[in-house]
Structure 1
Amino acid sequence: MKTILHKANTRGDANHGWLHSKHTFSFANYYDPERMNFGALRVLNDDTVSESRGFGTHPHKDMEIVSIPLEGDLKHRDNMGNEAIIKAGDIQVMSAGTGIMHSEYNNNPDKPVKFLQIWVIPNKQDVEPRYDQITLNTIDRNNKLQQVLSPNPNDSGVWIHQNAWFNMTNLDQNKEVKYSLNDPKNNGVYAFVLKGDASINNQKLNERDGFGIWDIETLDIKADSDTEILLMEVPVKQ
């Protein structure tokens, strides 16, 4: 078993006034050669955007981009003709492929929007760009794992061009779940604690801590308080 721990207060901190972003991995002006990625997981940004502000139209290419709103409403537009509002309980995915242009704005005039933006390096280059979003039944993650992303278009959740699986769980204090890797030979899991405190394979974790673990087949997860956790299983070996 191999592990890496990223405490919440060690993340990159970018405060632009209208945008406050915490970077788990190197991004924009935050650069740490020891924190470039966790395998195919390239970006994990914890963003807060002020009222009616946002990211103007900008390009992406050859990246799988996943947005998970945590609070508030996020408005999306792109050059494929998609215009949508995503909110807590939704998950959005874009395969940038040969190239896309999009914008993201806080759709609320009176409160900030908080969301995770996650980039996963794809296993295919120059694919046709695509967009998808779904609304999840968050009750299905109460004291159990809810799969929200996979490599299979016919599976539950959204899908991406990578051998990756994301799961979310909301655990009551002292509840436990076990996660079994889909591809333990090649993959690892990066756990991100959204709320509360938890222990994963006896590693104590607090809110917004990140914990990568690989060369293992299962994870034992225990809630040390009421907690919400995102598990991201991605390839770590090429």
Structure 2
Amino acid sequence: MKKILHPSNTRGVGDFGWLQARYSFSFANYFNPERLQFGMLRVLNDDTVAPGMGFGRHPHDNMEIVTIPQKGALKHRDSMGNEGVIEAGDIQIMSAGKGVEHSEINASAKEPISLFQIWVIPETRDVEPRYDQKKIAPLLTENEIVPVVKPKDKADDNDLWLHQQVWFNLGTFSEETTTTYNLHNKNHGIYVFVIDGTVVVEDETLERRDAIGVYETESVSITAKANTDVLVIEIPMQ
């Protein structure tokens, strides 16, 4: 088993006035040759966007993009004709594929929005772009780590899915709980990101916004303390 610790205070920092960002991996003005990606997980940005501001229309291609608002609401518009609002408690996915343009703007003129923006390198290039979103709460079971996004070939009709062998899992814990996470493939790893609270992963204690990557193992022990929310991403390492 190998582990890579990413304490919250070691993340990259982006201060653009309207956008306050923390980067788990090299992005924009932050470059760290030791923090390029974790397997096929390329981006995990922790963003706070000022009222009425946001990311104007811009292009993407050949990237799987997941957005999870934590507070506030985001107005979405894209070149596929999708338009709507993503709120805290929602999860949005977009396969950029052979090319898509979109904008994401804070829906409030008074309150900031905080969100996670996550990019995964796809296993299939130049696919037809696609978009989907769901409410998270109906997908969860309290005090369990539950998959909310799956690989396309493992998904049912109602599941959110991506063009990669990746599982996005969320856990909301009201009481201390120990879970053994069994990886789906020996060539995968997991990236554990603490949204709030405290998590112990293989004897490493993580607090709010700390993260750890674990790989070259078949299972990982995760203990979530009471009042904890955690994101667990299982991802191919190569």
Shorter-chain TM-score bucket reads over 0.9
Per the alignment, in what secondary structure is the counterpart of residue 28 of structure 1? coil
1:172 deviation in Å? 2.7
Aligned residue in 2 for 1:231:
232
**2:200 maps to 1:202:** no
> 2:55, 2:105 within 8 Å by CA — same for their partners in 1?
yes
> 2:62, 2:122 within 8 Å by CA — same for their partners in 1?
yes
Aligned residue in 2 for 1:171:
173
TM-score after normalising by structure 1: 0.95
The 5 Å alignment of 1:151-170 reads 151-152=151-152, 153-154=155-156, 157-170=159-172
**Following the alignment from structure 1 to structure 2, what is the Cα–Cα distance between the partners of residues 95 and 139?**
21
1:75-132 CA-to-partner distances (Å, cap 9, x unmatched) read: 1000110001111221111111111000000101221111100000000111111111
Aligned residues: 236
> 2:139, 2:146 within 8 Å by CA — same for their partners in 1?
no
> 2:173, 2:225 within 8 Å by CA — same for their partners in 1?
no
Change (3 A) 1:156 1:206: farther
**Following the alignment from structure 2 to structure 1, what is the Cα–Cα distance between the partners of residues 138 and 172?**
9
Change (3 A) 1:107 1:92: same
Change (3 A) 1:136 1:225: closer
Aligned residue in 1 for 2:219:
218
1:220 deviation in Å? 1.5
Per the alignment, in what secondary structure is the counterpart of residue 9 of structure 2? helix
Residue identity over aligned pairs, in percent, reads: 48
**Following the alignment from structure 2 to structure 1, what is the Cα–Cα distance between the partners of residues 34 and 135?**
35
> 2:143, 2:175 within 8 Å by CA — same for their partners in 1?
no
In structure 2, the gaps of 5 or more residues are none
> 1:143, 1:177 within 8 Å by CA — same for their partners in 2?
no
TM-score after normalising by structure 2: 0.95
Change (3 A) 1:208 1:138: farther
1:139 deviation in Å? 7.5
Runs ≥4 residues deviating over 4 A = none
Change (3 A) 1:41 1:187: same
Aligned residue in 2 for 1:46:
46
Aligned residue in 1 for 2:12:
12
> 1:147, 1:156 within 8 Å by CA — same for their partners in 2?
no
> 1:148, 1:156 within 8 Å by CA — same for their partners in 2?
no
Per the alignment, in what secondary structure is the counterpart of residue 80 of structure 1? coil
The 5 Å alignment of 1:85-164 reads 85-137=85-137, 140-152=140-152, 153-154=155-156, 157-164=159-166
Return the letter of the residue paired with 1:175.
T
Return the letter of the residue paired with 2:27.
F
Aligned residue in 1 for 2:83:
83
Aligned residue in 2 for 1:72:
72
> 1:198, 1:225 within 8 Å by CA — same for their partners in 2?
no
